[in-house]
Amino acid sequence: MVFVKNGLTWSRLAIITGRKLGKAHLRNYEKRICREFFREIKDSIPSGYDFLVIVKRRSKSFAESREDFMKLFKKAMFLIARDEG
């Protein structure tokens, strides 16, 4: 994951999935679940940031994907809080 300030009053999410991940329906599935996880935590993240998630491997389960995504965002929130504070 990469994040950067965007100068806006809201945060945005971008997702990249490469062809090595699989066929289009698998790449689209990974994007859909990433967007859903972002929607769930959108209220708890600071506004004004762009987040780029690069999906490198397919998840074995929905729960594993959620866990990995939440770990990424917890780390990002820690780094953002450290830089702002």
49: nearest Cα among 17, 16, 9: 9
Instruction: Supply the pLDDT for residue 9.
Output: 92
**Percent of the chain surpassing pLDDT 90:** 36
Say which residue, 36 or 56, is predicted with more confidence.
36
Q: Is the pLDDT of residue 84 over 80?
A: no
19 burial class (0-12, 13-18, 19+ CB within 10 angstroms)?
A: exposed
pLDDT higher than 80, residue 56: yes
* CATH class, range 2-78: alpha beta
| pLDDT for residue 36 | 93
Distance (Å, whole) CA 20 – CA 74:
27
Domain ranges of the chain: 2-78
Cα 23 to its chain centre, rounded Å, is: 21
pLDDT at 33 over 80: yes
CA distance 46 to 61: 28
Position 83 pLDDT exceeds 90: no
